[in-house]
Amino acid sequence: MAHAQQYILDIQPYPLTLNLEQTALIVIDMQNDFCTEGGFADLMGYDVRYTQKPIQPLQKLLQVLRQTPITIIHTREGHRPDLTDCPAHKLERSKRKGAEIGSEGVMGRILTRSSKSHDFVEELYPLAGEIVLDKPGKGGFEGTDLDIILRNRGIKHLLFAGVTTECCVHTTLRVASDLGYECILLEDCCASLDLEFHTVSVRIVEAIFGWVCDSNTLLSCLQLFSSVA
């Protein structure tokens, strides 16, 4: 290792060296709308127990990473109250699935900014100083200043967590890969509303777009070479 903040991860498909000051964790869309009963996903008939699974490993991971130089970013998918940034086809699809974007739910307006429905789950709420990025679509780069933030901080390595693996996580990771970032998917800190989608998405990342490991592997590496954990 070159210095105390650099770590070699023995992960798939081959080992990767991380400099913590050049690394960011992106926690994607851990929101009530996707992870809580009464939210968008639940109203469409999905089992949100699947998307709740990353909460516990992410809590453990954040507890450690918040003591390191790693940048922590949280994203939320949702729309302006007037829905002018919501594509017509997306709005129509939500109507047909029984969870119309912008309609009133048990936690306020569905997938609409400033509502509890749109907000983060309580267990993973951002701390002061952590970056919160609101996005209108699936990907974290489209319509946001994410790339500018990362480049201004000299970030080269991205750790990906959140929901759903095949949709918002994958979309953001694929673009990040094309932009030149080294992307690591934290398998146990991601989830899908369809287990098969998650499994296939993980395989695709490892085969084409980046690296795959779990949070325990990352934490073990930090504990082995540092006193932060």
Distance CA 136, CA 179 (A): 20
Identify which has the larger pLDDT, 228 or 68: 68
**pLDDT of amino acid 6:** 87
Per-residue model confidence (pLDDT) at position 226: 60
Active site (annotated) includes residue 33: no
Asked if 32 contacts 76 with a C-beta cutoff of 8 angstroms, the reply is no
Residue 88 has pLDDT above 60, yes or no: yes
Q: What is the DSSP string of 151-215?
A: HHTT--EEEEEEE-IIIIIHHHHHHHHHTT-EEEEEEEEEE-SSHHHHHHHHHHIIIII-EEE-H
Per-residue pLDDT, 223: 83
Whether pTM > 0.75 for this model: the answer is yes
The whole-number average pLDDT for the span 220-226 is 77
pLDDT higher than 60, residue 229:
no
Shortest CA distance to 201 belongs to which of 154, 162, 145?
A: 162
- Domains defined along the chain, listed by start: 6-225 (3.40.50.850)
Residue 53 is a catalytic residue: no
How far apart (Å, rounded) are the C-alpha atoms in residues 202 and 210? 10
* Average pLDDT estimate for 108-124: 98
Confidence label for 224 from pLDDT (cuts 50, 70 and 90): low
Render pLDDT for 141-174 as a digit per residue (tens, 0 to 9).
999 999 999 999 999 999 999 999 999 999 999 9
Strand partners, 211: 184
7-42 pLDDT tens trace = 999 999 999 999 999 999 999 999 999 999 999 999
The single residue of 42, 116, 119, 135 carrying the catalytic annotation is: 135
Q: What is the pLDDT of residue 1?
A: 38
pLDDT bucket at 117, cuts 50 / 70 / 90: very high
pLDDT at 10: 92
Cα–Cα–Cα angle for 35, 38, 42, nearest 5°?
60
Among residues 167, 168, 190, 213, the one annotated as catalytic is 168
Query: What average pLDDT does this structure show over 60-65?
Result: 97
- Return the residue matching tokens 């939500």: 94
Using the predicted structure, report yes or no on whether residue 177 has a pLDDT greater than 90: yes
- Supply the mean pLDDT for the chain: 95
135 is catalytic: yes
